[in-house]
Amino acid sequence: MAKAIEIRPLAKEDEREGFSCGQPDLDRFFQHYAGQNQFKLRLAVTYVASLDGTIVGFATVAASSIERANIPSARLRKRLPAYPLPVLRLARMGVDTRAQGLGIGKALLRYTLTLAVEQRDRTGCVGVLTDAKAEAVSFYRDLGFVPVTEVREGLLHGEPLPMFLAIGTVAAALDR
Ligand SMILES: CC(C)(COP(=O)(O)OP(=O)(O)OC[C@H]1O[C@@H](n2cnc3c(N)ncnc32)[C@H](O)[C@@H]1OP(=O)(O)O)[C@@H](O)C(=O)NCCC(=O)NCCS
């Protein structure tokens, strides 16, 4: 990417109206709900990628948990206890259509992985969980995410696929 992008938490005064990633539900979320979720309800934090002062992408994260039985690794399931385990949830992500394909999605995802490492070191975190839209499954797979369950029929109807990246493989993903 030629120009440097800055990734930082969403600010109340950020201009979000003109943003469009091509998915109306994600655009609506970013324009109308990301702010209140962060500043009033405190249930998630949105990080924005800004290029020359314009917001070109966002990623919303929240603390969450996963049941041991849903961890898609037999080796990990064996080692972990049978109660809900802490994860960082990548709840939503979008890159403006005018800026897609420039590496911004990957940069936001890498940033999210560094947040997971921070969470690991401060309060514990066994991995990153996301709900991948059908079109974005290969984007996440390329970074090492694996489906939480085998592909469900729902995916055929456009339902998102839950995907997981174990904290032990985050370092490798950060090198990709
Ligand atoms: C999916 C999305 C976030 C990717 O962001 P982006 O900035 O366009 O992606 P990048 O330029 O960082 O691409 C990173 C890699 O993923 C690939 N990629 C990008 N979009 C992809 C997609 N939809 N499916 C598969 N691969 C994709 C790129 O080819 C690139 O591969 P490379 O590193 O080998 O060159 C963006 O296209 C988007 O906002 N799409 C619409 C909303 C959406 O689907 N969000 C995800 C919800 S789960």
pTM exceeds cut of 0.95: no
Distance 176 CA to ligand 1 centre (A): 14
Residue 153 has pLDDT above 80, yes or no: no
Q: Per-residue pLDDT tens for 38-76?
A: 999 999 999 999 999 999 999 999 999 999 999 999 999
Q: What are phi and psi of 83, to 5 degrees?
A: -130, 165
pLDDT above 90 covers a percentage of the chain that reads: 84
Residue 155 has pLDDT above 70, yes or no: no
Among 164, 171, 170, 162, smallest CA distance to 77 is for: 164
Distance 135 CA to ligand 1 centre (A): 9
Q: For the chain, how are helix, strand and coil distributed in percent, rounded to 5?
A: 40, 30, 35
Q: Is 53 in the pocket of ligand 1 (CB under 6 A)?
A: no
Q: Per-residue pLDDT tens for 20-37?
A: 999 999 999 999 999 999
Distance 93 CA to ligand 1 centre (A): 10
Q: Per-residue pLDDT tens for 80-139?
A: 999 999 999 999 999 999 999 999 999 999 999 999 999 999 999 999 999 999 889 999
Q: How buried is 153 (Cβ within 10 angstroms: 0-12 exposed, 13-18 middle, 19+ buried)?
A: exposed
Domains of the chain: 6-175 (3.40.630.30)
Q: How buried is 164 (Cβ within 10 angstroms: 0-12 exposed, 13-18 middle, 19+ buried)?
A: buried
Distance 49 CA to ligand 1 centre (A): 14
Minimum CA distance residue for ligand 1 atom 7: 105
